[in-house]
Structures are given as C-alpha cells and as structure tokens.
Amino acid sequence: GSIISIGDYLYFMVGGTPSYAGQIEEVNINISGGINNIVIDNSGGGAIPGVAVFFLAIKDATAESHGMLGHYCEFTLTLDTNLTVSSELFAVESEVMKSYP
C-alpha cells in the first residue's frame, strides 16, 4: 500500500526549502505493469524542476485530527421466557484513531 492518498498536499524540496507542488488527484500503482505515478492539480503550485528532487506529502490536518464525535445505538433484547438460568448482557466499545507515521 501507499501512505500517499488522494487529497494530500504534495511538496518538493530544492536546497532544503519545501515548495508547494499541488494537491494529489490520482495515485496510480501497478508494479507488474510498470506504473508508479501520481497526478496533481498544480494550480497554485510552483514550477517543479526537471531535476531529481525530494518530494513529500502532507495530510489535511483537519480531516486527519478528529476521532469519533459520538455514536448512537438502539436495540431490542428478547429472551426466552422459559429460561431458568441467568442471562448476561455486555457491551464492548472501542475508538480507533489514525496516528501520524
């Protein structure tokens, strides 16, 4: 898999200074087919030099920083009325957030 996603912001580095290249629109990976490229929307971005440069992608901080804000569940519990032993009801809850690598 790739950690780069559609919607990420692509930057390039020349001389240690990052410059905005554009927002990622497509990620195309097919190793057996020899395809390994990304497509960006360069409007508002700088001219990317023709020499080999270092690229980095930055996630949208707003989209990546929020966990679950709330949840709601409604259910009906039905037990056999002929039971003579106790029944148990339990709940499991988890919240998972993506961490920045």
Confidence bin at 11 (pLDDT 50/70/90): very high
Closest listed residue to residue 28, CA positions, set 19, 37, 41 = 37
Domain ranges of the chain: 9-63
H helices of the chain, where?
61-64
CA-CA distance, 66 to 101, in Å (whole number)?
16
For 24-81, how does the pLDDT look when each residue is reduced to its tens digit (9 = 90+)? 999 998 889 998 889 999 888 878 887 767 888 988 777 656 665 666 777 787 878 8
Q: Which of 51, 44, 61 is nearest to 98 (CA)?
A: 61
